[in-house]
Amino acid sequence: MAGDNREYELKFRAAPDALACAKSAFDSIDPDGQWTVSHLRSRYFDTASRRLGAKGVSLRVRQSDGKSVQTVKTAAGGAGGIMDRWEWECPIDGIEPDFSRLPAEALDALGGVKAAELEPIIDVAVERQSKVVRREDPLGPTLVAEAVLDQGTVSAGGRTEGLSEVELELGQGRAQPFFQLAAAFIAACPMPVSSTTKAERGYRLLAGTEPGPSKLAKFQMAGDLTVDDALARIFSACIGNITANEQACLDGTDPEGVHQMRVSIRKMRSALKTFKRYIDPLQLDWLAADLKWMGSQLGPARDWDVFLDETLVSMAAHGIDAGAVAALEREGRRKRADAYENVRNMLGGARYAKVMLRLTAFAALQSWRPDPATRGPGKNPLTTPLGKAARRILNRPYRKLLKAGDGMAGLDMAARHRVRIRIKQLRYAVDFLRGVHSVSETEAFGAALRHLQDNFGHLNDVVMALRLTGELIDPARGPVDEEVRLAVGEVRGWNARALRDIEPQLITDWEAFVETAPYWRK
C-alpha cells in the first residue's frame, strides 16, 4: 500500500497523561522493538496571503540532532480519519526552504509559489518517542509501522497551545493488517481517531479562532462517475466531517458543532439505504448500528438546542408570557447541560474510539465492495455510471415517500413523522447525486422538496417541544416546580395553535410536490 512518496497515517487524539498508556499498548503488541527519543523543532512556511494553506499544502523544515529536513505534503485523497498524503522529503542545509532540492512533483504541488514569497508562520516543538512495530501477516509481507508519541507546543501569531498526540504510520505491508494493528492499539488504550494536522493547528492559531463547527460541503458528482466513486466520496466526506466537529462538540458553546456532526451521521445512514443494493450486505448491520448509536448520543443535545435557541425565542416573539419563557429556559438549560455532558462522555469513551476506527477502516479499505466470490458472475454493479444508475437509485426513496404520505390530510402525528423521515431520505439521495443532472432539470422538483421538508421540519419542532416540555413536568423525574408546570401549559396551548396554523400550508405543499414530475424520469 505504501509508495515512495505516499504517506498513510492514523492520528489519535490523546490527553498528555494517556501517552504512557499508548507506550505500554505498543510494547504489548511488539515487545521486541526499542523506543527512541528525539527533540524536533519544525517551522512551517507560507506566503503572506496563505496560498499554500488555502490549497491544503504544507511546507516544513524540521531540525533534529543538528540536521535539517525539508518536507512538502499535500492531500492524496483521504478516507475519513486516515491521513492519506503525498509527501516529498529531502535533507537541506540551514533552516530556510531550498527549492533546488525539490523534485518536479513537489514543485507542482506548491502551485507556482516561489521561495522568495515565503515567510515563517508556524513553529512546532515536540519531544518525540518513536518505535518500529512489526506484525506477521500470514497473507502478505510482514507489517511494519512506526508508532509515534508527540508532546510539545504549537506557536503561531503570538499564540501557543499544547500538543499531545499519537500517530501510527504504515511503512510496509497491506492496509487491512495496518487497521488490525490500530484496532489492537485502541482496544488496549482507547483514543479517538483525529484528522487535525500540526499545520492546521498552527493556521487556527494564526486566525485567533477556537476549533469551530465544520459544515459538510455539498456533493458534486458527474454522470460518468461510477457508483463506486460516489460511495468513496460520500463516506470519506461524512467521516471526515464527524471528526472535524469533535472539538466544537467538546467545547459546546456553538450548537452548530453537534448539529453538523449529527447531519454527517444521518447522511451516512441515509447513504446505506440509498445505495443498499450496491453495498456488501455483511457490512450493513454493524454500520447501521454504530451510526444509530452515535446519533442517539447527540440527539438530546440537539433537541434542547433547538428548543432553547429557536422554539422559545419564537414563542417569546409571539407574545408568550415572559415569566413562562424564563422558567422554561432555566429548566431547559439544565437539561441541555446534562445532554452536552453526555456528548463529552461519548467523545472521550472507548466505544466512540472503536466506532470511529471501524468507520475509518471501512472507508479506507472500501469495504462496501462485496466479495467477488459472493457476488457471482456478471458485471459488477458498482462500475455502473451514475448517469445510468440515477433512475433506479432515486426511484426507491421517491416511491416510499409517496406511499407514506398517501392520504396526507387524514394522517396522525406518528404517520406524519414517518413521512418526514422519508422526505429527508429522498432529499439526501438527491443531494448525493448533485451534478448528475443539470440545475435546470432539477430546479422545480428540488424547490418542491425543500418547501416540503421545511414545513415538516416546523411540524417536528412543535412535536419536539411538546415532548421536551413533557419531560420537564414528568413526576417520575422528581418534584415539579409549579411555575414550570404553568409555563408548560401555556406552551402547549401555543403549540396546539401552531399545529393548526401549519396544517393548510403543509397540505398545499404536499399536493404541489406530488404534482411535480421527478426529473430523473424525464
| Per-residue pLDDT tens over the stretch 460-474 | 888 888 888 888 888
Judging by beta carbons within 10 Å of its beta carbon (0-12, 13-18, 19+), is residue 149 exposed, middle or buried?
Answer: buried
User: What is the spatial distance between Cα 156 and Cα 208, in angstroms, rounded to a whole number?
Assistant: 9
Lowest mean pLDDT among 12-16, 34-38, 65-69, 497-501: 497-501
**Rounded distance, CA 121 to CA 168, Å?**
26
Phi and psi angles of residue 223, each rounded to the nearest 5 degrees, phi first = -60, -25
Q: Is residue 369's pLDDT more than 50?
A: yes
Residue type, 463: V
> What whole-number distance in Å separates Cα of residue 411 and Cα of residue 461?
18
The rounded distance, in Å, linking the Cα atoms of 360 and 348 is 17
Mean pLDDT of the 119-139 span = 96
3-state helix vs strand vs coil in the chain, percent to 5: 60, 20, 25
Alpha-carbon distance of 151 to 72, in angstroms, equals: 22
Q: How far apart are CA 390 and CA 487, in angstroms?
A: 50
Query: What average pLDDT score do residues 175-197 get?
Result: 94
- Compute CA 72 distance to the chain's CA centroid, rounded to the nearest angstrom: 26
The position carrying cell 456553538 is 254
Least confident of 201-205, 303-307, 376-380, 511-515: 376-380
Higher pLDDT, 46 or 458: 46
Write out the H or E segment, with its range, that includes residue 38. strand 36-46
Give residue 309's pLDDT.
Answer: 93
Could you give the percent of the chain with pLDDT greater than 90? 75
Confidence of residue 1 (pLDDT cuts 50, 70, 90): very low
Contact of 84 with 77, CB cutoff 8 Å? yes
Q: How far is residue 159's CA from residue 181's CA, in Å, rounded to a whole number?
A: 36
3-state secondary structure of 191: coil
Is 373's pLDDT higher than 70? Answer: no
Q: Enter the C-alpha cell of residue 199.
A: 499545520
pTM, to two decimals: 0.90
DSSP state of 277: G
pLDDT above 70: percentage of residues in the chain: 95
Q: What's the mean pLDDT when you consider all of the chain?
A: 91
Cell 453526555 found at: 342
Please, which pLDDT band fits residue 5 given cuts at 50, 70 and 90? low
What whole-number distance in Å separates Cα of residue 213 and Cα of residue 231? 24
What average pLDDT does this structure show over 52-66?
94
* CA angle 513–517–521, rounded 5-degree value: 140
In this prediction, residue 378 has a pLDDT band, given cuts at 50, 70 and 90, of low
Contacts 24+ apart (CB under 8 A), 61-65: 61/92, 61/95, 61/96, 61/97, 63/95, 64/38, 64/39, 64/40, 65/38
Residue-wise DSSP of 116-168: GG-EEEEEEEEEEEEEEEEE--TTSSPEEEEEEEEEEEEEETTEEEEEEEEEE
SS (H, E, C) 480-492: CCHHHHHHHHHHH
**What pLDDT was estimated at residue 81?**
57
Phi/psi of residue 318, nearest 5 degrees = -100, 15
* Single-letter residue type at 29: I
- What is the pLDDT averaged over residues 316-338? 84
So what's the pLDDT on residue 135? 95
- Quickly state the pLDDT bin for 375 (edges 50, 70, 90): low
What's the rounded mean pLDDT across residues 4-15? 83
**CA-closest candidate to residue 111, choices 98, 99, 119, 121:** 99
- CA–CA separation, 82 vs 193, rounded Å? 8
pLDDT at 490 > cutoff 90:
no
Instruction: Compute the average pLDDT of residues 408-422.
Output: 92
| Count of beta carbons in the 10 Å neighbourhood of residue 513 | 22
Beta strand pairing status for 119-135 and 36-46?
Answer: antiparallel
CA distance linking residue 107 with residue 454, whole number of Å = 48
Locate all alpha helices (DSSP H) within 167-308, ordered by sequence. Answer: 175-188, 198-207, 227-244, 246-251, 256-274, 281-306
Res 2: pLDDT: 41
**pLDDT of 79 above 60:** no
Integer Cα distance of 351 and 293 in angstroms: 10
The yes-or-no verdict on residue 237 having pLDDT over 70 is yes
Q: How far apart are CA 238 and CA 173, in angstroms?
A: 27
Is the pLDDT score of 498 beyond 80? no
b/e per residue, 271-300, with b = 16+ CB within 10 A?
Answer: bbbbbeebbbeeeeeebeebbeebbebbeb
Of 297 and 486, the one with more pLDDT: 297
Residue 208: CB atoms within 10 Å: 10
Give the per-residue pLDDT at 25: 97
Instruction: Spell out the residues 6+ positions from residue 163 whose beta carbon is closer than 8 angstroms to its own.
Output: 124, 126, 150, 151, 152, 153, 154, 198, 201
The three-state secondary structure class of 203 is: helix
Min mean pLDDT across 90-99, 157-166, 297-306, 375-384 is at 375-384
d(CA 470, CA 489): 10
**For residue 225, what are the contacts with CB-CB under 8 A and spacing of at least 6?**
385, 386
Query: 324 falls in which pLDDT band (50, 70, 90)?
Result: confident
pLDDT digits (tens, 9 = 90+) for 384-393: 999 999 999 9
Q: Tell me how far apart the terminal alpha carbons of the chain are, to the nearest angstrom.
A: 44
* Of 33-42, 234-243, 499-508, minimum mean pLDDT range: 499-508
| Spatial distance between the Cα atoms of 304 and 292, rounded to a whole number of angstroms | 19
Range in 290-294, 360-364, 486-490 with the lowest mean pLDDT = 486-490
